[in-house]
A and B are shown apart, each in its own frame.
Chain A
């Protein structure tokens, strides 16, 4: 069964430094998508970045990049130049490609990131 694992319940990073949030996944599908979301204390889920299983290049969106290592089934989020506003919960999620599964996302348990001034 598909599964997302985030092994870091909480992390600290100094402002302006880079941080990597780990995510590993398990799927038997060849076609799938990987997502990262940010959830600040206010509760909303903010889409950050997407990586398709067939994408050869690592996805980047501003200060966010996804370190995609297909053979290791990992999709780590790298945040460069951390800002105080990056303090939040971060979720990794996966969508499998099988049409009969619908479009649901499977989420990891999340990593709480705290940025120190």
Chain B
């Protein structure tokens, strides 16, 4: 168990809908990272938050947004969903603003858009 908790584990929704994925980092970790894993794109970094502030942005679509709350949990919001958004979404956490020697991943949320 990595200590990073993601909910839900599975999500099936229709095109055009909006969903929210939730991540609780390991106790004490201040950084949260979101990644998308799809068959054609592989593992892609989406966005990082550190202590409530956006720290780095990757290939995140404008239809996607995220935030980190005062209790350090994070949510990734995906809207106007398309079939191509079907993927495994991972959250990872680390203590500081840079991944030091370890970055622990949650079990992922498998999103299926139908």
Interface positions of A (Cβ within 8 A of B):
33, 35, 37, 43-47, 50, 52, 91, 93, 95, 97, 99, 101-110
Contacts and interface: CB of A to CB of B under 8 A. Distances in A.
Contact of B48 (A50, A52, A103, A107): A103
Interface of B: 2, 31, 33, 42-43, 45, 48, 50, 55-56, 58, 88, 90, 92, 94, 96-108, 110
B24 to A, nearest CB: 15
The residue among B33, B42, B99 with the most chain A CB atoms within 10 A of its own CB is B99
Chain B at the A interface: SS class = strand
Please provide the 4 A-B residue pairs with the shortest distance between their CB atoms, ordered closest to farther.
Answer: A102-B56, A45-B105, A107-B43, A104-B45
20 contacts: A43-B88, A43-B107, A43-B108, A45-B105, A95-B99, A102-B56, A103-B31, A103-B33, A103-B55, A103-B56, A103-B94, A103-B97, A103-B99, A104-B33, A104-B48, A104-B99, A105-B33, A105-B99, A107-B42, A108-B42
Contacts of A104: 33, 45, 48, 56, 58, 99
A39 B107 CA distance: 10
Nearest to A94: B99
Nearest to A50: B101
A16 to B, nearest CB: 28
Contact of B104 (A47, A52, A102, A103): A47
Nearest to B98: A103
A106 B99 contact: no
A74 to B, nearest CB: 20
Given A95-B99, A99-B98, A107-B42, A45 B55 contact: no
A42 B94 CA distance: 23
A97 B98 contact: yes
A102 B42 contact: no
A31 B94 CA distance: 18
A7 B96 CA distance: 32
B2 A47 contact: yes
